[in-house]
């Protein structure tokens, strides 16, 4: 059987656990050593599991936003759609294609009578349909307003993409920060474990206290693994937003500085009325719907077609020509043109209500996120200046009391868990504040006011 070498660090613990008297104490020490050795082998194995952070180079949020705005497939599709809408404007303003006709007219069935009979002739004609004055210009304006609406939607999509990148960036940042905190707090749980071992070996403590400290330490490994999985999920979604392959390597986010919101809520409520692309998109829809009402009313008036013909005859017969005009008569206006006007007016009413609904929604979103920012700032100050220092002091006092036998193990563990919780909550509020700022930048479209 191969001999197992015990590391020097564990030999020291073995020596510490060897009581000089009492067989019961010696058996208790051996059991404690075996359990401790097993737990720490598991701990070292789990800690040694490699986890690739993909790249040592830190991710910068602005670089990611720039890449997403350049390569995101939804943005590229919307850009192509916007370009296509621009090509529709000259088409809408153009006349219908002219028509050309040619043919031959013969008299009788028995023989070719061209040049012999008066009615035998070659015929050529051309026609052009002209819409009623004003219709083409209205069609061009409608196409232009539709293109402007797509342009506003395109700008809104760019803002939404930047917001998505920021949210995923801070999710990724928060996961890394949580792993850092967990790894730092493992050392504090090791202090509790060492104190529990010392008390147990001296007969002052229970084996349950050792197991309790070790169990809590390995529960941190579970949390750490969950955050590692969340990193992989955030990286996949971030790669999707960047237009990369979902398995592309990403680095670790750099520690961002908190963004500053210089505008008041009242300023933001005023700004979004003029700058929000989402509101502008709806307003362009109202403008287009207004033009469609005018266009539907124009359909009461007829279009007309001009036709010019030339008739080629041979022999003693002179050539002929003709000029005619054809107009359509909207006699079915009650079931056609009038209904089209009513339809266009209903669509206009819908567009107007969508503007009001969008304005209310954006105002509500601004108020919600602004209050979220201020609440997060107050909580961060409370955690940083009050709860975290106080909880750290409570833990230090508890571990000192436990070492001297004045405090129970459960008290020390609860103090440490409380310290971990408030530190995590601080960074959660930091990330939520930055996400709320990103949402404000999207709904307001406020360039230069919100980072």
| CATH number assigned to the domain comprising residue 187 | 1.20.1600.10
* pLDDT reported for residue 300: 94
Angle between helices 409-444 and 265-275 (to 10 degrees): 40
pLDDT exceeds cutoff 50 at 7: no
pLDDT mean across residues, the chain: 81
Is it the case that residue 290 has pLDDT exceeding 60? yes
φ/ψ of residue 218, rounded to 5: -80, -20
Q: How far apart are CA 41 and CA 59, in angstroms?
A: 35
Instruction: State how far the Cα of 49 lies from the Cα of 42, in Å rounded to an integer.
Output: 11
Q: Which residues 6+ apart lie within 8 Å of 180 measured at CB?
A: none
Residues 125 and 185 in one domain: yes
- Rounded distance, CA 408 to CA 403, Å? 9
pLDDT for 32-63, tens place per residue? 444 444 444 444 444 444 444 444 567 888 89
Q: Read off the pLDDT of residues 209-220 as tens digits, 9 standing for 90 and up.
A: 666 666 766 777
Do 88 and 110 fall into the same domain? yes
CA 31 to each of CA 17, 103, 200, 323: distance values in angstroms, whole numbers, following the listed order: 10, 112, 11, 115
Q: Say yes or no: 344 and 434 in one domain.
A: yes
The pLDDT value given to residue 191: 65
Is the residue at 31 inside a domain?
Answer: yes
* Residue 265 · residue 275 · CB < 8 Å: no
From its phi and psi, is residue 445 left (phi > 0), alpha (psi between -120 and 50) or beta?
left
Structure tokens at 346: 């209903």
Residues 371 and 383 in one domain: yes
Residue 65 lies in a domain: yes
Residue 389 lies inside a defined structural domain of this protein: yes
- Does 25 score more than 50 pLDDT? no
Domain that holds residue 58: 51-444
Query: Any idea which residue has 């147990």 for tokens?
Result: 200
* Least-confidence region, from 7-11, 338-342, 396-400: 7-11
pLDDT of residue 193: 65
| pLDDT on residue 17 | 35
Q: What is the dihedral of CA 313, 319, 325, 328, to 10 degrees?
A: -10
pLDDT the model gives residue 205? 56
Same domain, 46 and 153: no
Residue 320 phi, psi (nearest 5): -125, 160
End position of a domain, from candidates 30, 50, 70: 50
Structure tokens at 439: 């949402």
By the 8 A CB rule, do 330 and 336 touch? yes
Q: Residue 115 in 3-state DSSP? A: coil
pLDDT at 137: 94
Residue 451 belongs to a domain: no
Does the residue 390 lie in any domain? yes
Residue 106 shares a structural domain with residue 30: no
CA distance 366 to 207: 56
Higher pLDDT, 46 or 429: 429
Are 17 and 65 within one domain? no
The model's pLDDT over 305-350, given as tens digits with 9 standing for 90+, comes to: 999 999 999 888 889 999 999 999 999 999 999 999 999 999 999 9
CA 240 to chain centre: 10
pLDDT at position 262 is 75
Q: How confident is the model over 141-176, as pLDDT tens digits?
A: 999 999 999 999 999 999 999 999 999 999 999 999
Instruction: Tell how strand 121-130 and strand 304-312 pair up.
Output: antiparallel
**Shared-domain flag, residues 187 and 279:** yes
In a domain, 28, yes or no: yes
Distance of CA 197 to the CA centre of its chain: 50
pLDDT tens digits, 65-87: 999 999 999 999 999 999 999 99
50, 74, 90 — which closes off a domain? 50
pLDDT band with cut points at 50, 70 and 90 for residue 409? low
| Claim to verify: residue 285 and residue 405 sit in the same structural domain | yes
Query: 55 and 12 in one domain?
Result: no
Which tokens hold the place of 140?
Answer: 């061009």
Is-contact 93 139, C-beta < 8 A?
Answer: yes
Question: Is residue 159 within a helix (H) or strand (E), and if so which, with residue range?
Answer: helix 135-201
- Tell me, what's the pLDDT at 19? 39
pLDDT of residue 427: 92
- Interval 347-374 mean pLDDT: 93
Within-domain flag for 151: yes
- Spatial separation of the C-alpha atoms in residues 387 and 390, rounded to whole Å: 5
Cα dihedral across residues 40, 41, 46, 51: positive or negative: positive
Residue 451 has pLDDT above 60, yes or no: no
Using the predicted structure, report yes or no on whether residue 94 has a pLDDT greater than 90. Answer: yes
- Mean pLDDT lowest among 11-15, 73-77, 81-85, 419-423: 11-15
Total domains in the fold of the chain: 2
- Assess contact for 370 and 264: CB atoms under 8 A: no
The torsion defined by the Cα of 275, 281, 287 and 290, in degrees rounded to 10, comes to: -150
User: Are 208 and 71 in a shared domain?
Assistant: yes
Task: Evaluate whether 416 touches 188 at the Cβ level (below 8 Å).
Answer: yes
Whether the Cβ atoms of residue 438 and residue 167 lie closer than 8 Å to each other: yes
Q: Identify the burial level of 84 via C-beta atoms within 10 angstroms of its C-beta, where 0-12 means exposed, 13-18 middle and 19 or more buried.
A: exposed
Q: Determine, yes or no, domain membership for 450.
A: no
Summarize pLDDT for 274-286 with one digit per residue, the tens: 888 999 999 999 9
User: 54 - beta bridge partners?
Assistant: none
More confident residue, 451 or 180: 180
Percent of the chain with pLDDT over 90: 49
Distance separating alpha carbons of residues 426 and 272, to the nearest angstrom: 30
Helix (H, G, I), strand (E, B) or coil at 335: coil
Is residue 37 within 8 Å of residue 10, measured between CB atoms?
A: yes
Supply the pLDDT for residue 211. 65
H-type helices in 72-134, by residue range? Answer: 73-93
The answer on 432 and 318 residing in a single domain is yes
User: Where does the pLDDT of residue 270 fall: very low under 50, low under 70, confident under 90, or very high at 90 and above?
Assistant: confident
> Tens of pLDDT along 99-144?
999 999 999 898 998 888 888 999 999 999 999 999 999 999 999 9
Token digits of residue 118: 């008066």
pLDDT at 182 over 90: no
């Amino acid at each position: 059987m191969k001999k197992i070498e015990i590391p020097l660090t564990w030999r020291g613990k073995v020596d510490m656990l060897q009581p000089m008297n009492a067989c019961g104490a010696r058996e208790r020490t051996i059991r404690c050593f075996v359990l401790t050795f097993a737990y720490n082998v598991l701990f070292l194995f789990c800690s040694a599991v490699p986890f690739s952070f993909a790249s040592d180079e830190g991710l910068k949020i602005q670089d990611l936003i720039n890449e997403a705005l350049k390569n995101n497939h939804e943005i590229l599709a919307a850009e192509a759609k916007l370009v296509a809408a621009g090509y529709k404007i000259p088409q809408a303003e153009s006349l219908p294609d002219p028509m050309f006709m040619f043919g031959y007219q013969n008299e009788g069935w028995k023989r070719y009578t061209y040049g012999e009979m008066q009615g035998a002739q070659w015929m050529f004609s051309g026609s052009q349909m002209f819409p009623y004055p004003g219709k083409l210009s209205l069609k061009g304006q409608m196409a232009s307003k539709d293109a402007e609406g797509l342009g506003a939607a395109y700008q809104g999509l760019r803002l939404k993409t930047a917001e998505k990148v920021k949210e995923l960036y801070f999710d990724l940042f928060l996961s890394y920060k949580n792993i850092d905190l967990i790894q730092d707090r493992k050392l504090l749980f090791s202090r509790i474990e060492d104190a529990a071992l010392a008390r147990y070996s001296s007969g002052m403590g229970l084996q349950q206290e050792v197991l309790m400290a070790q169990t809590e330490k390995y529960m941190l490994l579970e949390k750490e693994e969950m955050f590692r999985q969340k990193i992989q999920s955030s990286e996949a979604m971030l790669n999707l937003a960047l237009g990369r392959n979902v398995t592309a390597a990403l680095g670790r986010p750099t520690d961002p500085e908190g963004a500053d919101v210089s505008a008041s809520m009242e300023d933001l409520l005023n700004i979004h009325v003029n700058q929000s692309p989402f509101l502008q998109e709806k307003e362009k829809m109202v403008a287009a719907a207004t033009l469609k009402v005018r266009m539907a009313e124009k359909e009461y008036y007829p279009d007309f077609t001009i036709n010019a013909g030339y008739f080629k005859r041979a022999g003693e017969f002179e050539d002929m020509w003709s000029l005619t005009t054809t107009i359509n008569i909207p006699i079915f206006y009650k079931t056609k043109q009038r209904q089209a006007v009513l339809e266009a007016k209903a669509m206009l009413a819908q567009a107007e209500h969508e503007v009001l609904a969008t304005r209310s929604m954006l105002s509500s979103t601004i108020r919600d996120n602004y209050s979220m920012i201020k609440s997060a700032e107050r909580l961060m100050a409370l955690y940083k200046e009050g709860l975290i220092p106080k909880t750290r002091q409570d833990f230090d006092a508890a571990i000192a009391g436990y070492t001297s036998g004045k405090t129970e193990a459960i008290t020390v563990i609860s103090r440490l868990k409380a310290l971990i919780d408030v530190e995590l909550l601080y960074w959660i509020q930091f990330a939520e504040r930055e996400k709320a700022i990103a949402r404000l930048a999207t709904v307001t479209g406020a360039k230069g006011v919100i980072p």
